[in-house]
Amino acid sequence: MMSFPGLVNYPGIVWKRACHLLQRVSAAREGRPRKGLRRPSAGGNTPAYMVTPLLVAVLFIAPLPAWGGTGYPGDETAPCGDCHPRQQAEFQRSHMAMAARAPAFLEEWRRKGRPDTCFACHAPSRGAGVACTDCHGTAGHPYPRLSLPAVCAPCHDAPGELTLRSFRDSPAARRGEDCLSCHLPGEGFSHDFRGPKRRGFLQGIATLTIAFRREPAGDTALLRIRHRAGHALPGGTTGRAVWLLVEQRDAGGRVVAERQYRFGWLHSSTAGWRENSLPPGVGKVVEVPLHEAAGVIRAKLIYRFRAGGLDRADPDQRVLVDETRPLAFRTVP
Amino acid sequence: MQERNLVRFLILIGVLLALLGSGDVSARWPTVSAQQLRAWLDAIDPPLILDVRGRADYRAGTIAGALDGGMDPRGYLADGNGGRLVLLLPEGADERVTDAWFARLANAGHRVWILEGGLAAWIEAGGTTEVPEFSYTRPGSVPFLIPRGLCEGGEPSQVFD
């Protein structure tokens, strides 16, 4: 077993969820069906598994002992999706459900000689990806309530990664938000976990402020990057990176100066790990000296999924911000 | 009863006059306390912080995310988008300089507050400071490893400058 340092429970968050859950359970007890859950009740809506002749027979012959008064079905071996079709369908939309079938994963896994260790996170139950029981456990009904973000930590907090650690010290955490506020928006514990690969998820998450400072020694562009993620940007592993490309052109449109900044993790054999991601909240400032011939400056912020340099193709790459500013103040006599 | 209220009122007026007379920052310009600023920075849309204490002070440590606006208001060209801005002034800043900064920033569309007590108050209120660092990546520099971190892999990329 691996060990994951710094696992912390958040009593406040757990409590909030607990209250939420209690309300929902009592709603269910009062006979109001829980959203997305097909309850095996008499009358009303028909349970999905009724179509299975075997179950119909079981229900017909011994309906009472099967429920035993607990409110849970007797057959713990049936696939979770039989009774929780909403969670099942929603979870299928998340990349987590297919984490061990993703082309990018398979490519890297094969290249590295198909190591078993990869599945500790990509498919602990050896299915196509993360499974229901990888989060909920195998204890069966009644399942213990999950505490956030501890339940995400085994896979999202590890050496070389700091999603959880940076979340703990983030404005989002201080505002009382948790992982689900952003990654599972909406009511009723949807299971449609969304990440940066989802269309539109990265829309508007970063902003760029561009100001200038004029001094006798020369002009400087002041760039401030800010983002809305509840943890460092990029969240997730070292492979992800955010690049800032700054380009200066002269009146004739020729590039006179160019700089690249990479935010994410780096590793060198001599210096070891180096973390350089964009912290949540306050953001990051970058100063760029202006070339004396520059008449326009362009700053572009790019989110990349693949490890490696900019020259490596990344079909999922997204431009977060693209701003151009004429340096009109320089031509004024 | 009414007399006492009148006395209170007069005392209040006196205090206000004294504040104005003493040139206290809070009486002339809108200010924000360090504690309040910390709360603002946790909001979804925090203000921009402009440090105008000068290069050396800025480089020695400033509020994370603050821009170095230089010491001369005429040399600072704001981002055209305006918005809230908190000014980090040098200790014992001159009134005329403060006025000039206010005019400059208000003209650029900013709503401006002064951080009460400057950086000292910020640190006292438990705020952290940061030494700004502007390193960048040199394209084409000797490739070295950017492992996938928790995925324990290895990918070639570029070096820090």
Percent of chain A residues topping a pLDDT of 90? 43
Rounded distance, CA A127 to CA B153, Å? Answer: 22
Q: Are residues A217 and A175 in the same domain?
A: no
CB-nearest to B67 from A224, A238, A281 is A224
Going by C-alpha positions, the residue among B151, B145, B14, B82 that lies closest to residue A119 is B151
Strands A265-268 and B31-32: unpaired
Q: What is the mean pLDDT of chain A?
A: 76
User: A271: helix, coil or strand?
Assistant: coil
- Closest-CA distance of chain B to residue A10, Å: 19
Rounded distance, CA A315 to CA A21, Å? Answer: 40
pLDDT at A22: 32
**Averaged pLDDT for residues A148-173:** 78
Give contacts of A121 with chain B, Cβ < 8 Å: 150-151
- Closest-CA distance of chain A to residue B2, Å: 46
pLDDT at B145: 44
Q: Are residues A219 and A177 in the same domain?
A: no
Residue A223 contacts residue A246 (beta carbons within 8 Å): yes
**Across-strand partners of B145?**
B156
Q: Are residues A305 and A271 in the same domain?
A: yes
Q: Are residues A323 and A213 in the same domain?
A: yes
Q: Is residue A194 part of a domain?
A: no
Domain around A36: 5-78
Whether the pLDDT of residue A157 is over 50: the answer is yes
B127 touches chain A (CB under 8 A): no
Q: How many domains does chain B have?
A: 1
Q: Is residue A114 part of a domain?
A: yes
CB-nearest to A281 from B41, B151, B158 is B41
pLDDT at B11: 60
Question: For position B85, which CATH number holds?
Answer: 3.40.250.10
Reported confidence tier of residue A271, pLDDT bands at 50, 70, 90:
low
Q: Is residue B9 part of a domain?
A: no
Last residue of a domain, one of A54, A78, A102: A78
pLDDT at A43: 31
Whether the pLDDT of residue A31 is over 60: the answer is no
Cβ separation B137–A279 shorter than 8 A: no
Rounded distance, CA A78 to CA A62, Å? Answer: 18
Residues 196-235 of A with CB under 8 A from B: 209-215, 222, 224, 226, 228
Q: How many domains does chain A have?
A: 3
pLDDT at A168: 84
pTM of the model: 0.81
B81 touches chain A (CB under 8 A): yes
Could you report the per-residue pLDDT of A220-265, keeping only the tens digit for each? Answer: 999 999 999 999 998 866 678 899 999 999 999 999 999 988 888 7
Dump the DSSP string for B42-98: TSSSPPEEEE-S-HHHHHH-EETT-EE--S-GGGEE--TT-EEEEEEPPTT--HHHH
Please count the residues of chain B.
Answer: 161
Domain around B100: 24-133
Q: Is residue B143 part of a domain?
A: no
pLDDT at B152: 52
Q: Are residues A74 and A14 in the same domain?
A: yes
* pLDDT < 70 regions, chain B: 1-4, 6-7, 9-27, 136-161
Rounded distance, CA A62 to CA A253, Å? Answer: 82
Q: Is residue A200 part of a domain?
A: no
Q: Report how many Cβ contacts below 8 Å link chain A to chain B.
A: 146
Give contacts of B46 with chain A, Cβ < 8 Å: 171, 226, 281-282
Rounded distance, CA B143 to CA A221, Å? Answer: 29
Going by C-alpha positions, the residue among A328, A128, A138 that lies closest to residue A219 is A328
**Averaged pLDDT for residues A209-215:** 96
User: A140: helix, coil or strand?
Assistant: coil
**Averaged pLDDT for residues A208-222:** 95
